[in-house]
Structures are given as structure tokens and as C-alpha cells.
Amino acid sequence: MVIGPAIAPETTIIPLLSQDRDSVLAELVGCIPVLRDRPEDQEILLRALQEREQLCSTGIGEGIALPHARNALVGLIPDTVLVMGRHPRGIPFGSIDSQPARLFFLLVAPTVSQHLRALARLSRLLRDARLRQALLAADGPRRAIEILRAAEATEWGASPA
């Protein structure tokens, strides 16, 4: 699974304006294009994300959070969507290293297998400190997407989307 096509400028928020976990989740959900005119589905997704955070934080440390529902919400969206957000100071997110999260990657997939493959691929990519630093320094959404796609192409031999 290649994650590059799942992210776009309209699904990238630099900077995030929210000041707490639930507001960040709502801000990320609000920029999913196929859900913009579907407030009921936005609410379903937001509740699923909040329930997942109550179960166990998706803050993986190193300033990163990977919000996602515990299971794929089949039928909610037709294609995998990745929403990236960057917060200037960071948000307490219950991360395993107790550090605030600055980089957020909301993943929503139409099937369980796509959900798991995309989540695994993204988490592997984000282990690279150089990638994290480059994303923190990116001057805007287009540059952040270029950086993420280039890292994916280099690391995994896939061609950029």
C-alpha cells in the first residue's frame, strides 16, 4: 500500500489551530473532503476517534500522533484518506513518552486490510527522525506532502504519486 496518493493539500493543515485533543480530532475530521457535506458521518468518525483515544492514546511518541478508529468504518469513505496536521507548539495527547504531539496523521480507510496496511506503512516511515524534522520544518502543505512522498519512494522503492 502506497500512502502518498491518500494525502493532498486540502487534507493537510499547517498550522493546526486547536488547543486540545478533542478539538484537534474535530479539526482533522473537518478537512476530509468526502465528509464535508455529511455532518452525521463526521460525527460518527469523531466519536470513533474519541473512543479509540479513551481506550489507548494514539500518541506514539517523538511528537507524533496517529489518530485512527479502532476498526475501519466500512462504507464511510470510498478511498483511503490521510489528513496531516502540524501544531506549532504541540498538544498533550497522552503519548507514550509524555511529550506533546506536533505532527498528526489521521488515517481513515474503507476496509480493515487497507486500514492496517496504511497504518503500518505510515508508522514505519515516521520512525525516521530526518523525516519528522523535515515535516516540522516544511513551509506549507505542498512541501510537507512532497517530503512525505519522497520519503516513501526512497524508503520503500515505490514511485511517488
How do residues 27-54 score in pLDDT, each as one tens digit? Answer: 999 999 999 999 999 999 999 999 999 9
Tell me the CB-side half-sphere exposure of residue 105, using CA atoms within 13 A.
28
- The answer to whether 72 and 109 are in contact (CB under 8 A) is yes
- Does residue 75 carry a pLDDT above 90? no
Q: What SS3 class is residue 19?
A: coil
Give the Cα separation of 150 and 43 in Å (integer): 33
64 grid coordinates: 507524533
How do residues 120-153 score in pLDDT, each as one tens digit? 999 999 999 999 999 999 999 999 999 999 999 9
Question: CATH topology for 4-155?
Answer: Mannitol-specific EII; Chain A (3.40.930)
50 grid coordinates: 474519541
3-state percent breakdown (helix, strand, coil) of the chain, nearest 5:
45, 15, 40
Domain residue extents for the chain = 4-155
Q: Where are the alpha helices (DSSP H) in 3-161?
A: 21-29, 39-55, 112-125, 129-137, 141-156
Q: What is the pTM of this model?
A: 0.93
Least confident of 13-22, 63-72, 93-102: 63-72
